[in-house]
């Protein structure tokens, strides 16, 4: 009796295991079947359906396409969806546009009657899509992507908005292809890399990994790996840094831009997210690992490198005291020098150098202000120096020091101000210093620059007009500067 019951139990368990095996093999459709279901749903959308019915079918199509990308990242269909290619007569981009257009129409009405936080998500989504279509340069593309990433973040934070995350993500992925900008691998991977952080923040590791696998640029693949480390909540240590440096040595060309960016980003990551003390050599070598990198200058890449270097300056400056293995003097030497390793054209190296000096002398808020304003005048070195001088020479004593006081400094005092003095010696900064001296009523000091540095130069007449019309200079006062030219000028 007991043997018979055991036998029947064994048979039942066997049937259950067989059923589990069979159904586990068929419970998840293959990409072809999911694609067929999406096609069928698309064909069922007709004019006689209500808006809600149409939206429901579009949502189901979007869900199936997203399942293909998430579950079968290496499949041919998934790759075509990620690159926004048509599959036969099925055009994912058109489906997406129709869906978003209908959603916008629906929520324009709903949000007027019943406003909610999700409405901001749809506004950002709509603005992002319009921005993608109108974008004609890298900066306008960045603005469009920013709108789309904002919509993803809003939808992610709202329970009712989670249904639209995939839709906003698809719009983000297809933005470059819909713009008027000629794309390249670097640009495609740059925008994809920003999406990786959004995926990981939402706990979607499979999607993030699939996106990294689809990248072709070695640096952005490397950066994606760092993002995984950041969201793992694990603190990077020196062994982790050394392991990735060896990987870069092995996988990347010795003097390539990719290798430089990878090493620099790694050190930046270690400074910001690590817990160990950063020595003076760590601080100094963070930008000197592959300083002979070679690349063809490009405005977009130049700006990217500059932003990365300024981020590094800020991260190093913001280190807590217990992690700073360098002193204030060493910091003042290293921060400005980072800009010397920017090999791009225009004034990027100067901007980074000035940002580092301001950060060290004035602090984080002034550095951030300069960073924002400098990007608007990056092509004009004199304007950059004028902005810098206006933010550093803010008192009469500082103005006197800027004119000649630094010459009396010796030893460590001189060395700690060496980067600043280098800027003050720049002939293109003389007019800005002159104006500051005039503003503080320092007649003798300002006229010294006027007659010794500016006379005969293109700014001389402007300088003459500036000092004569200044409310801070009184021509009726007898100034004893020992200069006859001054007397002639004032009278």
Which parts of the chain have pLDDT scores under 70?
1-29, 83-84, 285-292, 297, 345, 405-416, 482-491
CB 341 within 8 A of CB 310: no
How far is CA 167 from each of CA 39, 66, 205, rounded to the nearest angstrom? Answer: 17, 9, 18
The candidate with the shortest Cα–Cα distance to 118, out of 133, 102, 104, 98, is 104
Q: At 458, is the secondary structure helix, strand, or coil?
A: coil
Q: Which residues pair with 90 in a beta bridge?
A: 87
CB 472 within 8 A of CB 427: no
At 448-483, the pLDDT tens digits run 899 889 999 999 999 999 998 999 988 777 777 755
Q: CA 153, CA 204: separation in Å to the nearest integer?
A: 13
Cβ-based burial of 197 (10 A; exposed 0-12, middle 13-18, buried ≥19): middle
Tokens standing for 149?
């990433």
229: Cβ–Cβ under 8 A, 6 or more apart, which residues? 236, 240, 269, 273
pLDDT for the residue numbered 30:
84
Q: What's the number of CA atoms in the CB half-sphere (13 Å) around residue 325?
A: 11
pLDDT for the residue numbered 135:
94
H-type alpha helices, 287-395:
299-317, 328-337, 348-362, 364-374, 381-392
pLDDT for the residue numbered 387:
96
User: Taking the complete model, does pTM exceed 0.85, yes or no?
Assistant: no
Tokens standing for 36?
């067929």
- How many residues are recorded in the chain? 491
């Amino acid at each position: 009796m007991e043997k018979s019951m055991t036998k029947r139990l064994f048979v039942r368990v066997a049937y259950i295991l067989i059923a589990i095996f069979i159904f586990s093999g068929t419970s998840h459709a293959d990409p072809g079947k999911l694609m067929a279901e999406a096609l069928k749903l698309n064909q069922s959308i007709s004019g006689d359906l209500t808006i809600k019915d149409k939206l429901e079918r579009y949502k189901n199509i979007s869900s199936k396409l997203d399942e293909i990308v998430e579950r079968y990242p290496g499949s041919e269909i998934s790759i075509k969806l990620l690159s926004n290619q048509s599959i036969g007569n099925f055009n994912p981009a058109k489906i997406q546009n129709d869906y978003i257009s209908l959603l916008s129409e629906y929520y324009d009405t709903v949000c007027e009657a019943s406003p909610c936080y999700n409405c901001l998500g749809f506004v950002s989504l709509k603005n992002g899509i319009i921005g993608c279509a109108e974008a004609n340069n890298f900066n306008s593309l960045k603005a469009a992507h920013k709108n789309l990433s904002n919509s993803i973040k809003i939808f992610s934070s709202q329970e009712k908005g989670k249904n639209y995350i995939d839709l906003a993500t698809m719009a983000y992925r297809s933005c470059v292809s819909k713009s008027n900008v000629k794309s390249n691998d670097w640009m495609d991977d740059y925008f994809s890399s920003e999406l990786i952080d959004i995926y990981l923040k939402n706990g979607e590791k499979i999607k993030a990994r699939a996106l990294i696998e689809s990248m072709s640029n070695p640096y952005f693949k490397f950066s994606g790996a760092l993002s995984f480390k950041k969201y793992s909540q694990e603190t990077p240590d020196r062994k982790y840094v050394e392991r990735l440096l060896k990987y870069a040595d092995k996988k990347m060309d010795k003097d390539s831009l990719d290798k430089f960016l990878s090493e620099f980003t790694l050190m930046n990551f270690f400074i910001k997210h690590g817990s160990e003390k950063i020595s003076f050599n760590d601080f100094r070598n963070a930008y000197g690992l592959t300083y002979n990198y070679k690349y063809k200058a490009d405005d977009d890449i130049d700006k990217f490198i500059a932003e990365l270097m300024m981020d590094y300056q800020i991260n190093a400056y913001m280190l807590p005291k217990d992690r700073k293995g360098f002193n204030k003097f060493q910091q003042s030497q290293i921060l400005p020098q980072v800009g010397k390793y920017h090999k791009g054209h225009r004034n990027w190296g100067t901007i980074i150098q000035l940002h580092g000096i301001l950060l060290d002398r004035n602090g984080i808020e002034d550095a951030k202000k300069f960073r924002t304003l400098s990007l608007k005048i990056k092509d004009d070195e004199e304007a950059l120096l004028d902005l810098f001088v206006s933010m550093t020479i803010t008192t009469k004593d500082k103005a006197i020091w800027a004119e000649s006081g630094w010459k009396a400094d010796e030893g460590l005092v001189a060395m700690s101000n060496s980067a600043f003095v280098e800027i003050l010696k720049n002939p293109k900064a003389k007019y800005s210093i002159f104006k500051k001296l005039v503003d503080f009523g320092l007649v003798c000091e300002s006229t010294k620059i006027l007659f010794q540095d500016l006379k005969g130069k293109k700014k001389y007449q402007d300088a003459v007009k500036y000092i004569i019309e200044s409310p801070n200079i009184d021509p009726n006062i007898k100034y004893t500067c020992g200069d006859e030219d001054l007397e002639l000028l004032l009278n």
